[in-house]
Amino acid sequence: MKDFTKNMSFVEFQNDRKTIKAVLYNLAIIGEAAGSLLPEIEILYPEIPWVDIRGIRNIVVHEYFRVNLEIIWKTIQTDLPPLIQQLQEVMEHISDS
């Protein structure tokens, strides 16, 4: 998603419907994936905000008109980069098992 918003300001983002839809769609996919994980994964990796990941998916999918673009922007800019790193580590650990 960072690629979708690369070199974009928040103002540009909030005025670009295609980018907003692409970002929201990808957040929904991430939330769906988090929702289909085995409970053991969540227990093994409690530092990952699984509830928040699923929560943002629920807002994007079920409460589309309540989506706060400032929160989405903050999520992309601040929360997503370390989350991606954490998820990559989980995937590596799982594939090594």
The residue annotated as part of the active site, out of 17, 62, 66, 93, is 62
Catalytic option among 17, 57, 66, 93? 57
| Residue 62 is a catalytic residue | yes
* CA nearest neighbour of 59 among 49, 48, 47, 71: 71
Among 50, 51, 3, 52, which residue's Cα sits nearest to residue 26? Answer: 3
- The set of catalytic residues is 57, 62
